[in-house]
A = this chain, B = another copy of it.
Amino acid sequence: MIVHPTFLINEARCRENIRAMALKARKNGLCFRPHFKTHQSIEVASWFREESSAITVSSLRMAEFFINAGWKDLTLAFPVNIRALDTIQRLTRAAEIRLLVESNEVIDALDNGLAKETKVFVKIDLGYGRTGIPANNVEAIDRIIQRLGHCKTLNFAGFLSHAGHSYDARSREQVAAIHKASIATLTKLKDRYSQDYPELILSIGDTPTCSIMDDFPGIDEIRPGNFVFFDLMQVLIGSCQPEQIAVAMACPVVAIHPSRNEVIIHGGGVHFSKEVLDDPIHGRHYGQVAEATTQDAAWGAPIAGAYLKKLSQEHGTIVANPAFIDSLKIGDLVKILPIHSCMTANLMRDATLIVPA
């Protein structure tokens, strides 16, 4: 019996999401290097084994976790923290780890600090405005690549980018426009340096682009992560249908307030995270209720108008129509689709239930 808030993972849906993405990568001749920050789970990771031995992580903690589970080919898709050189040194001995650079300070620290030859990507900013050298700053890119050319231990592997601004898209057309611009920019960079570095690769990563687009001309590698679970944010962007969402929170009903059309669940900010979505139907909310099924560990289609309106540390407030409220009793389980599965999965790592395929 499910007693406490529990993160349900539907194995069949995950495997189907993985299969579809791996197929797309194969068709396009792309290296499939999924981002494991989404699930941070040895078991979910094992479902990728047939499709890929190369993975992406976003912290040294995650790198160590998956290296200990037998993964040997990792890209750390996060700027190098030069305070952690000892850990990087230790982990690069245990596995092949590609790193990201965008500054001389980091290049020098790595080149002086690492003993083993290490591949590095130059991080390119395609317009997201988080990390990376802006793609149009060719002089800065030139300088970084020249500097890499003089390094003892670092080898320039190619350009890596994350078009995170695709998360602001609200249609396939908007995602397509971002994708086309990204490809145009990156292939121009590849052309500029391919004579000196004929093996340089272009690596891109976001789930909206990788889910929605079919063609990746000039790209060598994709690193999507979220697609294994998907979530309500991806539905709103257009990356998936609700029935592809592979995870849901199961939360016990602890109080019912029919006069307000509200139900209180055990399930708060420490379970869902406070990631919020502003959708045209519900406004700002923290999750959408899915239809009940006869099984505790399964769920149906999302119910329009039934959503998580408020979160405290441990409480969640669901608002819904009177018929749904009337159908519930204290002690029932409500299933809720998360806004951002990566954030919820991170919080629920110790309270996960995998529903076998």
Contact = CB atoms under 8 A, between A and B. Distances in A.
**Number of identical protomers:** 2
A317 interface: yes
A188 interface: no
Given A269-B343, A314-B37, A330-B106, A4 B252 contact: no
Contact of A331 (B59, B83, B262): B83
B1 A164 contact: no
Interface string A276-304: 10000000000000000000000000000
B103 A331 contact: no
Interface stretch (A65-73, A74-82, A178-186, A228-236): A74-82
Contacts of A83: 1-4, 252, 331
Contacts of A347: 347
A255 B131 CA distance: 7
A157 interface: no
A80 B253 CA distance: 10
Interface residues of A, number: 53
Interface of A: 1-4, 37, 58-61, 78-84, 87, 102-103, 105-106, 109, 129-131, 164, 252, 254-256, 260, 262, 264, 266, 269-270, 273-276, 310, 312-315, 317, 329-331, 342-343, 346-347
Given A80-B254, A129-B262, 6 more contacts: A3-B81, A58-B314, A78-B314, A78-B315, A313-B342, A313-B343
